Amino acid sequence: MPDKYHIKTQPIPPRRPRIGKVGVVDWREDCANCHNCVKKACVFDRYREEMSYIRGLREMDAVFFQCMGCFSCVQQCTKGLLALSANPVYERLGNTYWTPQIIETTWTQAESAKIPVSGAGYRGRFSGPGFDSMWTDMSEIVRPTRDGIHGREYISTAVDIGRKPALLHFDAGNAASGLPPLVDIPMPMIIDMLPRGYRLPNLLPVIKIVAAQTGIIAVIDSKDWQLAGNDLDQYLPNLAMYLDTSAPLPGRELLIGMRLVEISDDGNAERRVHELKQINPGIVVAVRVELDSGGIERAVEYARQPFVEVLHLVADDNGNEIGEKKPRFIKDMVRSVHNSLVESGIRNEVTLMAGGGIALAEHMAKQILCGADLVTVNLPLLIALECTLCRDCNDGLSCPAKIGEIDIKYGVGRMTNLIAAWHDQLIEVMGAMGIREVRRLRGEVGRALFFEDLEEATFGKLFGSRKNN
Amino acid sequence: MASSLVPEKIIKEGLPDSTLETVVPQAEVQRVIKPAPPRYRNEIAKYIIRRSADCKLCGKCAEICPQGVHVFKPGYKYFAAPHQSVCIGPACKDTGHYCVDLCPNKALRMVENPMMRVLGDYRWTPDLILATWKMAETGAPPPPDYGYEYECGNSGGGFDRIRFKFPASPPLELGPDDIDTSLQLNRRNDGRPQIKIDVPWYGGGMSYGSVSNVTQLSKARAAVAFNTFTCTGEGGYMERLRPYDDHTITQVATGLFGVREETIQRVRIVEFKYAQGAKPGLGGHLLADKVTPSVARMRETVTGISLFSPFPFHSVYSIEDHKKHMDWIKHINRHALVSAKVSTPSDVDMVAVGSYSAGAHIVHLDGGYGGTGAAPDIAKKNIAMPIEYAIIKVHDFLTREGVRDRITLIASGGLRNAHDIAKAIALGADGVVVGTGELVALGCLRCARCESGRGCPRGIATTDAELQGQYTVEWGSQRIINLYNAWRIELVEILRRFGMRRVSELRGRTDLLMHLDYSNDTEQAR
C-alpha cells in the first residue's frame, strides 16, 4: 500500500481560559445551603472544575465559561437561584464575518485536531450570504471506492500547481517541448501571508515549520523574509516568496530551492516571470490578482497569456470584492473567472488559487466546487493561536492573547491540528459526494446545490419571483 | 415498472405463515389526555415577575392572579418561589388582574426572561420550545394568551417563510369530528396489508444507544395510543419493545447492528436506512462512551468502542441491488411494508422513483437539517438540501412519472410542529416523520450535548444508568401522547379552516400556501 498522507497531531490545550457561549449567573444570597446542591450534580462536573480553576489563579484573568448550557442546574436548584446568560465576551469575539461560532470551532479544532461533532440537528439559519448560500451534494450509492469501511482511505486530496499544456507536441516520436514544471502538494491549501497589521514577527518561524510538517506551502512576503529565521534552506520547498512591484529579484540560491514564487499583477509580470525562470526554469510562478472592481477581467486576461501558470485570486479578509460598496463574494467571483476560462477552453491550462474569507473547512470544499483548484488561508491559522480578531494589534496596542509570546511547539501544534482537522473534514464531505480526488472536485457544480437555483426551481415555480431583501 | 416485481405468491413459498404471527401479546395504551407536569422544579418562563423590597407582603397579588403565579401560603411569612411559567405575560394587562398594576406598593415588575436569549436557536426558537413543553404538559395547543410565537422558527427560509392562505371563512362548515387525519401507508395494491395510521406522522428512528430505553418505550406507547408507529433505529430490537411490535418499525441500516431475521419478522413495517439527513453520505457514529455494556450486548459489539455504521450499504450500488435488498426483506417478512429512508441529494427525485420501482411502499426523505444524536458539524449544515425543496421536487417527479398514487411519500428533517407537518403535506408529502419534537416533549432543550461523555444531561439521549432514570415511561409516554394530541388538534383546525374532510385533500395543495419572500403572483398562487 502506498504511503498515505497523514498529518501527525497531538492535543494542544489553550493557554487562556476557554470562552464559552453561556455562563452561569449565580445569586449566592438567599442560598439555603441545602445538602442536595445541584452544583454537585452537574453532569459535566463544571462547578468543581470552576472551583479548582479559580483556586489555581494568581490573578483574576478571565471568567470561567465552561457551562454546557443544559439548564439542569437552573431548573433543579431548590431556591431557583441560578440562571444562564449569554456570555458577552463570547459575543464580542470576531466580527460579523468571522463570527463567534467560527472562532470557537477553530479553537476547538486547533486544540484537538478532530472533526467537531455534536448532537441534535442543525441549529443555524436556513441559508445565508457567501458560502452559506450553497450546499454540497451527496450520493446515495456512488462511493469513492468499494473498499475500506468508508472508502475514505482512498480519497486523494493532492493537487498540482502549475501550467498544464492542452496537448503535447512530438517530433519524430520524442516530445518536442519539455513539460512545464508542476508543484504538487498533498492538500488543496496554501498558507497565505497574514493581512498587514497581523504580521507578528514571531509567527513566520512557526508557519514555516507548519508548512513543512503538513507538506503544504506558505507564502511569505520578501520584505518579511528575514523574520522567518536563518535556517531556511531545509524549508525552501515549502515556502513561496511573494515579490511585490518594488521587490528586488531574490538571490539565486533561494530561487533554486523554492518550488513556487508569487508576483504581483503589475505591468511587469511577464518580464518578472522570464527573469525568475531564467534563474530557475523549474520554478512555478503565481500571479497574485487582487479582486477589486477590475479583478475578474484582469484575471481572465492573464489566464490567456502563455507566460501565466498560476493565478492567485485574492478577495479581502471577509471574502468580498475589494473596495466596492456592493461587493461580490469570492465564491461568485472565482466561479465567474472559472466559467469564462472554461468557455474559452483554457481552464485546464492554468491553476487557480483563491483566498480571502476562507474561514472553515467547508469553505475550502465549496470554493473548490466553485472553480478554484486550491484555496489560500491565513486568518484561521492566526485564530488557531487564540486570536480573537480584536484588532488591538492593528492599532498598536498589546495583544490580549499574547501571541507575540507563544512558543514554537504551541504554535506549530495548534496550526497543524487545525490543518489536520480541515483535511479530515474535506475528506468527509468528499466521501459524502462520492468523489475520489480533489482534482475532480474543482468546478464540479454538479456536486453542489446553490440556494438561488433551488429556490428558483421549487419556490420560484410555485410562488413567482423572489423579492430582493 | 410494478410488473417487474416478483409476484407475491412466488415469495410465499418461502416461510410458513405461522412464523409471521405476533406471538407476544400486544400492549394497549389508551389515548387519554391528562396533565403531565414538567419534571423540573424550576420551569423556564417567557416572562418573569420581579418583586422588589417595596413589597409589604399584603398578599394581594396572590389573591388576584387567576393563574396562581404568586404563592403565598397561609402561615408563612414570605412568598414561596413563584410559578413563573404559568404567567401569561403582557397579555394580562387587559384582563383586570394584572398584578404589576394592581400592587398597592408598586413592588412588582414584569420582564422578559433574559434566559430566553440562551435558550433554543434559529430553528427551535425559545418560544417553540416553551410551547412544545406546554403542549406536552396539557395536551392542547397553548392558549394565545401566552404569546408564544410557535408556528414558525426563525431560520429565515423554508417552512419559516411559508404561510397558509386561509379563506376568510371555511368553504364548508365542519366540526372537529368530521375531519379525518388518517394516512394509508400501502398504495401498491400488492396484496400486502393495508396499514392505516390515525395521524399523518410517525416517530423517527432512534436507536437504543443513542437514546435510553425509557425514551424508546415512551415513544412506542404514544405510537400505540395514536395508532401510528415508532422506529427502533439501528441498534437492535429490545425485548421490552415486543409488546409494541405492531406499532414498531425496525430499521435495517448499513451497520446491521442488532438486525436478525427474527426481529424483521416481528414488525409490520421495515425501514431501510440508506442515509440520514443530519449526516448524509457519512453513516452513523455512536461514540465510545455511549457504548455501555447493555448497548454493546444489544448490538453484539464491545463495550466502550465507538461504533460506525458504514456508508453506504456495501451490497447496494444500484437500483437493482436495492431491489434485491427489498426482496430479501419481503421474503423474510411477507406481511411487512417496506420503507426506504434516503437523504436529499440533487437527484433525490430519481432515487425516489428508483425506490418505487424496487418495490418500496414508502419512500422517506430525510432532509439536510434533520436530527441526530451525533454528527459532524460540517455535515449538519452543508451536505444535501433542506427537506422543503426535496418534497416539491419528488412530489412533482413522481406525479409526472405517473406513480405518485402508488407510493407513500414521507418527509422528515426539521419538522417541528403541526404547522410544519401541514406545510410539508401541502408541498406534496403524504405524511411526515417527527423526532426532535418528541424529545422536546420529554424535556430536551436542544443543548446539543447528546454525544458528550455519558450522554444527554437531561436523561433522554443517554444510556447511562443514572441519567436515564430521570423520568419514567409513564410520564414520558403521557408527554408524547399530549404533544401528539395537541398537534392533532392544530392539524384538524387547519383542515377545518380550509373546509377539508381529510388530510389527504391537503396533499400537494401548494395553491394554499404563500412564501413571504416571493411575489406570490403566479397562476396557482392567485
| Domain assignment present for A74 | yes
Burial of A300 (0-12, 13-18, 19+ CB in 10 A): buried
Instruction: Please give the full DSSP string across A370-415, using - where no structure is assigned.
Output: TT-SEEEE-HHHHHTTT-----TGGGTPPPTT-GGG--HHHHHHHH
Chain A from 31 to 90: CB within 8 A of any B CB: 43-44, 68-72, 74-80, 83-86
Find out whether B140 and B485 touch, Cβ atoms under 8 Å.
yes
Q: Is the dihedral of CA A326, A329, A330, A332 positive or negative?
A: negative
In whole angstroms, give the CA distance from residue A333 to residue A370: 9
pLDDT of A1: 56
Q: What is the pLDDT of residue A434?
A: 84
Q: Which chain A residue's Cα is nearest to B389?
A: A458
Give per-residue burial for B225-247: e unless 16+ CB within 10 Å, then b.
bbbbbbbbbbbbbbeebbbbbbb
- Phi, psi of B439, deg, nearest 5: -70, -35
Which among B190, B181, B507, B198 is positioned nearest to B338, based on CA atoms? B190
What local confidence, expressed as pLDDT, does residue A61 receive? 65
The reply to whether A231 touches chain B by the CB within 8 Å rule is no
Instruction: Spell out the residues 6+ positions from residue A198 whose beta carbon is closer than 8 angstroms to its own.
Output: A378, A379, A382, A387, A393, A394
With CB atoms and an 8 Å threshold, state whether B368 touches A135: yes
Q: Would you call B465 helix, strand, or coil by DSSP? A: coil
Distance from CA of B259 to the nearest CA of A (A): 19
Note whether residue A464 is domain-resident: no
Q: In A, residues 126-165, which contact B (CB 8 Å cutoff)?
A: 126-128, 135-143, 146, 149-150
Q: How do beta strands A117-118 and A170-171 pair? A: unpaired
For A109, name the nearest residue in chain B, comparing CA atoms only: B377
| pLDDT tens, position by position, A306-315 | 999 999 999 9
The answer to whether B523 faces chain A, any CB pair under 8 Å, is: no
Q: Do A138 and B388 touch (CB under 8 A)?
A: no
Using CA atoms in the order A310, A198, A403, A116, what is the torsion angle rounded to 10 degrees?
-50
Mean pLDDT of chain A: 91
Q: Which of B43, B211, B383, B468 to mutate to test the interface with A (most CBs of A within 10 A)?
A: B383
Which of A85, A132, A463 is the best substitution to test chain B (most B C-beta atoms within 10 A)? A463
Q: Which helix (H) or strand (E) holds A300?
A: helix A295-304
Quick one: three-class SS letters along B242-296?
HHHHHHEEEEEECCCCCCCHHHHCCCCEEEEECCCCCCCCCCCEECHHHCCHHHH
Residue B106's region, left for phi above 0, alpha for psi from -120 to 50, else beta, is left
Residue at A144 is within a domain = no
The answer to whether A124 contacts B454, with C-beta atoms less than 8 Å apart, is no
Task: Judge whether A6 lies within some domain.
Answer: no
Alpha helices in B383-522 (DSSP H): 387-400, 418-427, 436-441, 473-498
Chain A residues touching B461 at Cβ < 8 A: 119
Say whether both A390 and A292 belong to one domain. yes
Chain A contacts of B414, Cβ < 8 Å? 121-122
Chain A closest-CA separation from residue B212 CA (Å) = 15
Q: Residue B12 has what pLDDT? A: 45
Please tell me which residue of chain A has the smallest CA distance to B120: A123
Which residues on B lie below 8 Å from A431 (Cβ)?
281-282, 311
CB A426, CB A436: distance < 8 Å? no
pLDDT of residue A174: 82
Report the CATH number that the domain containing residue A226 is assigned in CATH.
3.20.20.70
Residues 20-39 of A with CB under 8 A from B: 21-22
Which chain A residues in 430-459 lie under 8 Å from chain B, judged by CB atoms?
A: 431-434, 446, 449, 454, 457-459
Region A16-43 average pLDDT: 85
User: Are both A87 and A157 inside the same structural domain?
Assistant: no
Please indicate whether, in this complex, the C-beta atoms of A428 and B119 are within 8 angstroms of each other. no
Residue A109 domain-assigned?
no
**Mean local confidence (pLDDT), A449-461:** 95
Taking the C-alpha atoms of residue A121 and residue A123, their distance in angstroms, rounded to an integer, is: 6
**Residue B268 · residue B186 · CB < 8 Å:** no
**Distance, in angstroms, between A446 CA and closest chain B CA?**
8
What domain count does chain A have?
A: 2
Q: Within a 10 A sphere around the Cβ of B43, how many other Cβ atoms?
A: 18
**CB neighbours of residue B174 within 10 Å:** 17
B45-114 under CATH 3.30.420.40, yes or no:
no
User: Cα angle vertex A300, ends A294, A301, to 5°?
Assistant: 85
Amino acid at A354: A
Cell triple for residue A107? Answer: 479553537
pLDDT per residue as tens, chain B (526 positions): 444 444 455 444 444 454 445 567 889 999 999 999 999 989 999 999 999 999 999 999 999 999 999 999 888 888 888 888 889 999 999 888 999 999 999 999 999 999 999 999 999 999 999 999 999 999 999 988 888 999 999 999 999 999 999 999 999 999 999 999 999 999 998 999 999 999 999 999 998 888 998 999 999 999 999 999 999 988 889 888 999 999 999 999 888 888 889 999 999 999 999 888 888 888 777 778 888 888 888 888 888 888 878 777 778 878 888 899 899 999 999 999 999 999 999 999 999 999 999 999 999 999 989 888 889 999 999 999 999 999 999 999 999 999 999 999 999 999 999 999 999 999 999 999 999 999 999 999 999 988 777 789 999 998 888 888 899 999 999 999 999 999 999 999 999 999 999 999 999 999 999 999 999 988 776 5
Rounded mean pLDDT, A279-283: 95
Which residues in chain A touch residue B42, judged by CB atoms under 8 angstroms apart?
74-77, 80
Residues of A in contact with B513 (CB under 8 A): 462-463
Is A233 inside any structural domain? Answer: yes
* Same domain as A200, residue A306: yes
Residues 229-288 of B with CB under 8 A from A: 274-275, 277-278, 280-283, 285, 287
Euclidean distance between CA atoms B402 and B411, whole angstroms: 20
CA distance to partner chain A, nearest, from residue B111 (Å): 14
Give me B399's grid cell: 406525479
Examine the domain organization and report whether A87 and A158 are in the same domain.
no
Same domain, A77 and A158: no
Bridge partners for A260 per DSSP: A240, A284
Average pLDDT score over residue span A331-344: 97
Query: Cβ contacts (< 8 Å) between A127 and chain B: which residues?
Result: 156-157
Q: In this predicted model, what pLDDT tens digit does every residue of A125-173 receive, in sequence order?
A: 999 999 999 999 988 776 655 544 456 778 899 999 999 988 888 888 8
> Is A425 within 8 Å of B382 when comparing Cβ atoms?
no
H-helix segments, B33-152: 60-64, 99-102, 126-138
Measured between beta carbons, the chain B residues lying within 8 angstroms of A85 are 114-115, 117-118
**All residues at 6 or more sequence positions from B500 whose CB lies less than 8 Å from its CB, including other chains:** B172, B174, B179, B506
Pairing state between β A374-377 and B431-434: unpaired
Of B81, B118, B368, the CB nearest to A79: B81
Q: Residue B282's pLDDT is what?
A: 81
Which is more confident, B225 or A435?
A: B225
Question: Which among B123, B346, B525 is the nearest to A123, CB-wise?
Answer: B123
DSSP track, B307-359: EE--SS-TT-SSHHHHHHHHHHHHHH-TT-EEEEEE---TTHHHHHHHHHHHT
Q: Where in chain B is the domain with CATH 3.30.70.20?
A: 45-114
Which of A140, A154, A418 to probe by mutation at the B interface, max B CB count within 10 Å? A140
- Proportion of chain A above pLDDT 70, given as a percent: 96
Q: Give the Cα separation of A84 and A104 in Å (integer).
A: 19
Burial per residue of A95-112, b for 16 or more beta-carbon CB atoms within 10 angstroms, e otherwise? bebbebbbbbbbbbbbbb
* Of the residues A56, A74, A92, the one at which a domain ends: A92
- Residue A128 within a domain: no
Contact A127 B157 (CB under 8 A): yes
Judged on CB neighbours under 10 Å (0-12, 13-18, 19+), B482 is buried
User: Do A458 and B389 make contact, defined as CB atoms within 8 angstroms?
Assistant: yes
Q: A333 by DSSP, 3-state: which? A: helix
Structural domain ending residue among the three candidates A92, A112, A138 = A92
Q: Which residue of chain B has the CA closest to A133?
A: B382
Instruction: Determine the structural domain holding residue A161 and report its residue range.
Output: 152-454
CB contact under 8 Å between A76 and B525, yes or no, is no
Contact predicate B429/B507, CB 8 Å: yes
Is the CB of A464 less than 8 angstroms away from the CB of B317?
no
Q: What is the interface pTM, i.e. ipTM, of the complex?
A: 0.93
Rounded Cα distance between B498 and B508, Å, is 14
pLDDT exceeds 90 at position A55: no
Of the three residues A92, A109, A132, the one that is the final residue of a domain is A92
Burial status of residue A41 (CB atoms within 10 A of its CB: 0-12, 13-18, 19 or more) = middle
Question: Would you tell me which residues 87-116 of chain A have a C-beta closer than 8 angstroms to some C-beta of chain B?
Answer: 105, 115-116
Q: Is B384 on the interface with A (CB under 8 A)?
A: yes
pLDDT at position B80: 86
CB contact under 8 A, B449 and A460: no
Best of B40, B41, B42, B458 to disrupt the A interface (most A CBs within 10 Å) is B42
Q: How confident is the model at residue B354, as a pLDDT?
A: 93
Level-2 CATH architecture, domain B174-515? Alpha-Beta Barrel (3.20)
Residue A224 above 90 pLDDT? yes
**Considering only CA atoms, which of A163, A200, A191, A120 is closest in space to residue A377?**
A191
- A184 and A56 part of one domain: no
B229, B197 contact by CB (below 8 A): yes
Residue A298 included in any domain: yes
Q: Which residue spans of chain B are classified as CATH 3.20.20.70?
A: 174-515
